[in-house]
A = this chain, B = another copy of it.
Amino acid sequence: MQEILQRIVDRTPGAQGAILMGFDGIPVLQAEAPSPSVDIEAVAMEFSFRFIELVKAAQALELGSIHDVTIKTDRGVVITRVLTEDYFVCLFVDDPVYLGKGRYVLRVESVGLAQQL
C-alpha cells in the first residue's frame, strides 16, 4: 500500500502528499513529495471528521454513498476518495490545473488500495 501511495504522488504533477486514513482520524500510511508545501497528515486529520458529516448528510438526503469529495482552496486542491466504510485516501495537489489528473490517478490506484484493506 505504501508503494501505491508513493505512485499516486509520483504520477500526479503538483502532488504534495497522499495519505490513507480512517474516518476516525487515525492515519494509516502516507507518501510525500520531496519538499511538501503542506502537512498532508494535518490536512487529512482536519477534514476527516467533516467528511463523516458530509457522508451523513448524503445519507439523510437519500443520495446514497459518497464516492469522492474535492475541495478547491487558495493554496491547492484536496482530493478525497472513499475506499470503504472506514477508510479514505486523500491527495493534495498544489496547482488546480492538475485536479483532473489527480482525480484520475486516485480513482485508478484506489482499486488496489481498497483490495488490501
Chain A residues within CB distance 8 Å of chain B: 38, 42-43, 46-47, 50, 53-54, 57-58, 60-76, 78, 100
Contacts and interface: CB of A to CB of B under 8 A. Distances in A.
**How many identical chains are in the complex?**
2
Given A50-B50, A53-B53, A68 B61 contact: no
A66 to B, nearest CB: 5
A67 B73 contact: yes
Contacts of A74: 63-65, 67
Given A50-B50, A53-B53, A58 B42 contact: no
B42 A50 contact: no
A65 B13 CA distance: 22
A103 B67 CA distance: 17
A44 B54 CA distance: 12
Contacts of A38: 61, 63
Given A60-B46, A63-B38, A70 B73 contact: no
12 contacts: A38-B61, A50-B54, A50-B57, A53-B53, A63-B76, A65-B73, A65-B74, A67-B73, A67-B74, A68-B70, A69-B72, A70-B70
